[in-house]
Amino acid sequence: MSTISDRIINRMAELKVRQVDIVEATGATKGAVSKWVAGTNVPRAEFLPELATVLKTSQNWLLTGKQEGSFVEKSEVSFDANDVYKPTVVDYETENGFIWIDVVEANFSCGTGESIEFHFDVINGKFPFPPSFFSKKQIDPNSMRIIKAKGDSMTDFIHDGDLVGIDISQTEIKDGEIYAVYFEGEGMIKQIFKKEGGKLILHSLNAKYRDREVSEQNGLSFKVMGRQFWRAG
């Protein structure tokens, strides 16, 4: 089974990328990059976006060796039911200066007039975060979920294939914040605005998508999963 180091080395060879190129692209030290290549250390989360960019690949592939599909149907749906992940935090599982968090597949169960529930199972890899990440964000790691974004309704802030972190403890809507929601059978990532009479407007940042309204009439099909607070693409 290949390691992060193996994948970095392979991409460097394929693209003729030098260690100094990675240093310049990521802002990491020469010593840190040497350790990534040697396999004695792994990149911290803060370096992954730039590392993936310079190696012309995805963070997911660097971490897991799994490449996401290239063809995704563009739609207003922001994530699939089976693309929602729950990190399982193990306090003692700290390695190389950051915490490796289990990424677990999830699915929805709901019906007309029934409560919408989320069921999480099947470990699907790990994603590293430095311990300081959670203290800076003031997030309890156990309340974090990771969603794989789909489509272009939230560009240029969230792009197709980005990983989006949400805090499921924050379901009380604050005007203008971005939330992951379940509405009328679809998983969505939307900016939410409060209106008079208790109505909510689900707003897409991409102007080609119309706003959607949550009212008393269709409110039973609406549930807030959590507030968006992190993304990686």
Amino acid 95: pLDDT: 47
Give tens-digit pLDDT for 27-52.
999 988 988 888 888 888 888 888 98
Give tens-digit pLDDT for 18-33.
999 999 999 999 988 9
Percent of the chain exceeding pLDDT 90 equals: 17
Give tens-digit pLDDT for 185-201.
777 889 999 998 889 99
Residues in contact with 141: Cβ distance below 8 Å, sequence separation at least 6, in sequence order = 87, 89, 99, 101, 129, 134
- All domains of the chain in start order, with CATH: 4-64 (1.10.260.40), 81-232 (2.10.109.10)
Tell me what the pLDDT averaged over the chain comes to. 77
Amino acid 115: pLDDT: 45
Who wins on pLDDT, 113 or 150?
Answer: 150
Alpha helices, DSSP H, located in the chain:
4-15, 19-26, 30-38, 48-54, 59-64, 131-137
